[in-house]
Amino acid sequence: MQDVMWGLATNPALPEHLFEPLAKTGDEDVRHALTYRDDLSELQARILLAHEDVDVYTLIARGKVPWAEVPRHDPSLLQAAAMAGIAPETVVRELAAHHDPEVRGDLASYVTGLPPGVLATLARDPDPAVAERAAEASDLPADLAEELARHPHVVVRVSLARNDRIPPALLAALLADGGTPAPTRCAACHHRTEGCSDHAPGIRRIRLAAAANPAVPPAGLESFLDAEETGAPAEIAERTDLPAAFHARLAAHPAPVVRQTLARNPRIGEPLILQLTEDPDPGVRLAVAENPSVPLSCLTALAGRRRLPDGPLPRILNATEPELHALATSRVAQARALVATRPDLPARLVDRLAEDPDIGVARKIAPHPGLTGHQLADMADRHGPPVYGAIAHNPGCPAQLLRRMARDTGSARKTLRPIAAHPASPPDVIEGLLANPDPRVVHAAAAHPALPVETMERLLDRATAS
């Protein structure tokens, strides 16, 4: 019954009078689901607060608890109130001066729009872990960023270098030499009287963080293209404002993750795309298919050799109608399937692909909203249960066809899940799926807004009686 109760807790049509009995079932997961309901009222939040295992922090942070009812003894709950914008300024300032650095750090990380001066207080905190988190703030003023760029501790400057909201000139300075003057403290020597004799590794960490920042100007990135630490080269490979010479260097990087990222970059040019199509790493070759600029001939060749990612690929989304027609009539079945995933596919191509004899193409075109109920029924007749799941994902699938597929003994569980969640599924079908052995089918059925209130009441009575 747990899956049924969990489904009821997420059901958007749950009646008001069933909320409290559901909260009292004793199931922590059910109360967790109730906590995250979009329509949760303050009254319902009070009902949940009567239970010890409820997520009080989330209720407060979501603004479901008025300030007068927020417990004052727990700093984390006060922080949640600050996140919700209901805590008085005096409370926020008290949190910024709290004796526990973790409390001060959380304030810097999770609360935006701090009162005037509070972010500066946190940025100047004697504990570098607090200043480090303040350096990440999206609303960090430029003058405070300049100050933090001179912070003696490496971790603070690393955090600042990752912040893409600080001035580009400041990022360029951190990229060049880690900031001036050089840092004098790092994690290794933070608690020692004397600092490390050499902070070169820490300075490199700062520079790598800046190199990975998408807001840093391209000038100065060249020395990081071959870095053994793959984070920065991979981030650089994603940029679309790089000189062509950088692309060639990145294509030769020994780490596949760097080449994979580069393979998706629409600015690398056709010669390099073709080169990466022959890369020894299969992940790189697969990533080429996700490049918006990949030639269709190359994409078709890839489709003929290996399985490509699900969903509409960028190149398919920006293909012209003649290109779509060429792919839809290709001898390569997966090329036709790629076209079928495009949501704004011309009607004549939708009709053509709906009659495609390949079951892989049928699965891809079946969810298309341009198909009629008659076409969907024909596909179900032609291909049988293997395409039922895809058909059930079609928003226009008629109730009669959903009922037929649900009652077919050949229907797999993965087919029944979308049927249980489909808006057009009839109430009797939904109720029948409540007895399915698959917990996910049961949850989807119990969460269906068309489930009759009488059925919800009966299910709840059965759960509380057991």
DSSP letters spanning 273-336: HHHHHT-SSHHHHHHHTT-TT--HHHHHHHHHHSPPPSS--HHHHT--HHHHHHHHT-S-HHHH
Out of 78-92, 97-111, 190-204, 296-310, pick the least confident: 190-204
pLDDT of residue 179: 94
Residue 97 has pLDDT above 90, yes or no: yes
pLDDT of residue 235: 97
Task: Read off the pLDDT of each residue in 22-31 and give the average, rounded to a whole number.
Answer: 89
Q: What's the farthest any 2 CA atoms get from each other in the chain?
A: 80
pLDDT-based confidence at residue 227 (cuts at 50, 70, 90):
very high
Out of 142-146, 300-304, 426-430, pick the least confident: 300-304
The pair of structure tokens assigned to 102 is 């973790």
Residue 287 has pLDDT above 90, yes or no: yes
pLDDT-based confidence at residue 178 (cuts at 50, 70, 90):
very high
pLDDT of residue 123: 97
pLDDT-based confidence at residue 267 (cuts at 50, 70, 90):
very high
Summary mean pLDDT of the chain:
94
Residue of 9, 60, 55 whose CA lies nearest to 30: 9
Task: Read off the pLDDT of each residue in 179-188 and give the average, rounded to a whole number.
Answer: 89
pLDDT-based confidence at residue 197 (cuts at 50, 70, 90):
confident
The pair of structure tokens assigned to 401 is 């066809």
pLDDT of residue 124: 97
Residue 466 has pLDDT above 70, yes or no: no
Residue 190 has pLDDT above 80, yes or no: no
Q: What percentage of the chain reaches a pLDDT higher than 70? A: 100
- With helix as H, strand as E and coil as C, how does 334-391 read? HHHHHHHCCCCCCHHHHHHHHCCCCHHHHHHHCCCCCCCHHHHHHHHHHHCHHHHHHH
Out of 14-23, 301-310, 452-461, pick the least confident: 301-310
pLDDT of residue 25: 86
pLDDT in tens, 75-91: 999 999 999 999 999 99
pLDDT-based confidence at residue 132 (cuts at 50, 70, 90):
very high
Q: What percentage of the chain reaches a pLDDT higher than 90? A: 87
Task: Read off the pLDDT of each residue in 371-394 and give the average, rounded to a whole number.
Answer: 96
Task: Read off the pLDDT of each residue in 58-77 and give the average, rounded to a whole number.
Answer: 95
| 366 CB neighbour count, 10 Å cutoff | 25
Residue 103 has pLDDT above 90, yes or no: yes
| Measured CA distances, 335 to 24, 160, 317, 376, 382 (Å) | 53, 46, 14, 21, 21
Residue 200 has pLDDT above 80, yes or no: yes
pLDDT of residue 188: 80
Residue 308 has pLDDT above 70, yes or no: yes
CB 208 within 8 A of CB 162: no
Question: What residue type is assigned to position 264 of the chain?
Answer: R
